[in-house]
Chain A
Amino acid sequence: MALRELKVCLLGDTGVGKSSIVCRFVEDSFDPNIIPTIGASFMTKTVQYQNELHKYLIWDTAGQERFRALAPMYYRGSAAAIIVYDITKEDSFQKLKNWVKELRQHGPPNIVVAIAGNKCDLSDSREVSEKDAKDYADSIHAIFVETSAKNAININEVFIEISQQIPVLDAAGGASTKGFKLRHQPSESRTRTCC
């Protein structure tokens, strides 16, 4: 089975739940008293997608302003970016728009953008309506989901959708030599049986 490495980075304001999303995805755990990330944290998880193995190389970045200047280091070369906001904080949604702008200007050209409205378990104190966010996501052709790291809602789905949107490997070019070889061999054997 082909193994593909996908670099994914999480961006967004401080306290929106980036680390909680990663923690839920990678370890399926949740810590309500999580401490703000310092710098960035790197984790990996491999999942099967169709007939490929996708190894996510996840950069969970710190949302605080003092780490802002480091962000390009993480989104540079990323296949996908998950931009997270907190549905109970309008301000975090506005900050998200800045991230989108920055990615459009300085990010890799084909980066897949996913927008995650986290903390959807707290819909009582919702400040950002699902429709507004969805409309915005559509306008920039981004994946959109509302998630809850706490209740494990839509966390795996975000990553599955990213896998779906990543260009397929055997499309001409872009494929690594390793992937090429693995694909090439069966067709060779088929030719032989034909003859």
Chain B
Amino acid sequence: MAGDVHNKGVSWEVQQNGTLAPVDRLREDRSESPTPGLVEGTEPGAGQKSAMFVHSQSFEDLTADSEVSTETHPEGDCALGEAGEEALCLAAKEKIQIELQPEVEEEVRPESRSKEEDVGSEVWRSRRKHVFVLSEAGKPIYTRYGTEEALSSTMGVMMALVSVVEADKNIIRSIHADGYKVVFLRKSPLVLVGVSRTCQSDRQLSRELQYIYYQIVSLLTLTQLNHIFQHKQNYDLRRLLAGSEHLTDNLLRLLDRDPGLLLSAVTCLPLASSTRDIVSSSLQAAKAKNLVFSILLAGDRLVTLLRKKDQSLHHMDLHLLFNLVGSSSSFREGEGWTPICLPKFNTAGFFHAHISYLEPASDLCLILVSTDREDFFNLSDCKSRFLERLNRRNAYQALKEALKCPSYSTAQVGIPELRHFLYKSKSSGLYTSPELPLPYQSEEEQERLMGLYQHLHSRLHHSTRPLRSIYQCGETENLIAWVTSGFELYLCFSPLGTKAQAVAAVVKLLKWIRKEEDRLFVLNPLTY
């Protein structure tokens, strides 16, 4: 097992990204009604102290990461790799048809993971998004649908495509054919391939593959992964990943549905700021020597996050923790203790996470992350101290009350045409969004709405022609998206509204968020 993580060796990541986090800012400095000229750090939802998360230019940060890695790749320094933007599009229609033979329109989606699914069946072919992970020897490691064994020849072809292009000192980024996008991500010693017929951009798909890559790294560390394949090139990695398939499955589901992963942000449990402050300070008091992060979750929402001074958590690492907790019922019983690598913090070592629910039937889950593998009982003790303090200060009851309404409806905003919105404060890395209204509650509609947001997001974050704002009319809804240096905003209106109404709604919504920011965001992140 790789060495434990220590804080020293990793601070470079934080510094390299630069601290764009706002310096201490008093409440009086905040403008009453936000304007486009708002500077980052003063937008609604911006934290008042230093930011909780490693500051990242969110989306760009991630894609930049992939571009750097392609450049450092021995065969990656071709012109295309350097440009980094233009995907290598091979119009290889015949090639892809060997694999897919599309043209299937019907939508079949049983909820359960269909591992037994026949890879030759129509159901398998008609899946909206496939994800494959293979080793550089072409050995299957993971498939979202069907079994890996049945796909060994298909994955062999994928590796062949990668190798053929690399033989010419080029990198294969994607293939577009017949409504499908095949996106390749080369992260030595792994190769990830996404096959999608959604309207997501190559960049977004590639970013989803990165999430899957980091999910695997979080289980093993990159050091161990490299070590394994250096010793045995044709190692069957499924042996080491056994029992973790549901984590990857669940992560892919989150990527399809959770706006937080799209926005590179997390959402908070609406909570009176006085209560949240008590929860935070109680957690702050329950510290231990090797404790690096304490995270309290309510389902998939953040209640508060404490961190060691000078250490920040990357939102991607936090999403991996959310996914770990959300996809394992096993933490419900007893107290969990598991090694976990937080790859955006350090790909070389393991942290050790104490994961437990405050009560067996409660949604409140406490994650305590330590650098010491022998720290279980210390952290268990931290948890009891935290609970005791919470009870003593009468905050536990208030917290449980708040859990009864973990979300809010769009109606509270008071804009009749507005159906739904996403608002992200860039400096705090937090977003807020109301519950999905009636027309979007089914899974299909939820994913369709996410698809619309994804499309707008890809326009705002286009690598060569990014937009500041976009208004889009459709048959079933009108959408507006707007990005400034301080925030990102996506609104969904009824199709009967006008553009003037939409623009007026933006201003009104921002005022409302400013008014409610105490409740919707963690404004006072604390450190130990």
Contact = CB atoms under 8 A, between A and B. Distances in A.
Nearest to A36: B243
B520 interface: no
Given A14-B242, A65-B242, A38 B334 contact: no
A63 B244 CA distance: 12
B334 A65 contact: no
Contact of B243 (A43, A60, A64): A64
B1 A14 contact: no
A163 to B, nearest CB: 20
Interface string A12-48: 0010000100110011000100111111111100000
A62 B328 CA distance: 13
Contact of A41 (B244, B327, B331): B331
Contacts of B330: 19, 34-38, 41
Q: Which of A27, A34, A39, A69 has the most CB of B within 10 A?
A: A39
Interface residues of B, number: 28
B373 A43 contact: no
A172 interface: no
Contacts of A19: 330, 333
B333 A38 contact: no
Overall SS of chain B's interface: mixed
A87 B246 CA distance: 26
A41 B220 contact: no
Interface in B364-423: 373-374, 376, 380
Contact of A73 (B239, B240, B333, B373): B373
B338 A40 contact: yes
A43 B333 contact: yes
Contacts, number: 81
Contact of A35 (B246, B337, B376): B246
Interface in A72-120: 73
Contacts of B242: 14, 36, 64-66
B329 A42 contact: no
Contacts of B333: 19, 22-23, 26-27, 41, 43
A36 B242 CA distance: 9
Contacts of A35: 246, 327-330
Contacts of A63: 243
Contacts of B299: none
A42 B376 contact: yes
Nearest to A38: B338
B334 A60 contact: yes
Interface string B179-191: 0000000000000
8 contacts: A36-B244, A38-B324, A41-B335, A42-B337, A42-B376, A62-B243, A64-B244, A66-B242
Q: Which 3 A-B pairs have the closest CB atoms?
A: A39-B338, A36-B243, A43-B334
